[in-house]
């Protein structure tokens, strides 16, 4: 399976997985920024939210987890 729209491809894959595993729960993540700028919106699209809406409309359980996007990892 190869397409030009990743959301369409992920949705089709999710349906295939749910056919095999009826009680599946899908997880996605989205970056959350303390101060959101224009480039955040341009670089980090709404893929997780769009996929969540499509899958939930189809009756598939979907959870979107927030991930802090502006914190640096310290060692």
Distance in angstroms (rounded) separating the CA atoms of residues 72 and 75: 10
pTM score of the predicted model: 0.76
Percent of the chain whose predicted confidence (pLDDT) is above 70: 81
For the chain, domain boundaries: 6-12+26-68
Higher pLDDT, 40 or 33: 33
User: What digits encode the pLDDT tens for the residues 41-71?
Assistant: 666 678 888 999 999 999 999 999 988 876 6
Look-up: residue for tokens 């997880």?
27
């Amino acid at each position: 399976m190869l397409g030009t729209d990743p959301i369409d491809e992920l949705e089709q894959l999710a349906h295939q997985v749910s056919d095999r595993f009826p009680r599946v729960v899908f997880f996605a993540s989205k970056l959350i920024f303390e101060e959101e700028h224009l480039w955040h919106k341009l670089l980090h699209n709404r893929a997780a939210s769009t996929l969540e809406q499509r899958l939930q409309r189809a009756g598939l359980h979907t959870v979107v987890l927030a991930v802090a996007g502006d914190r640096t990892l310290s060692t």
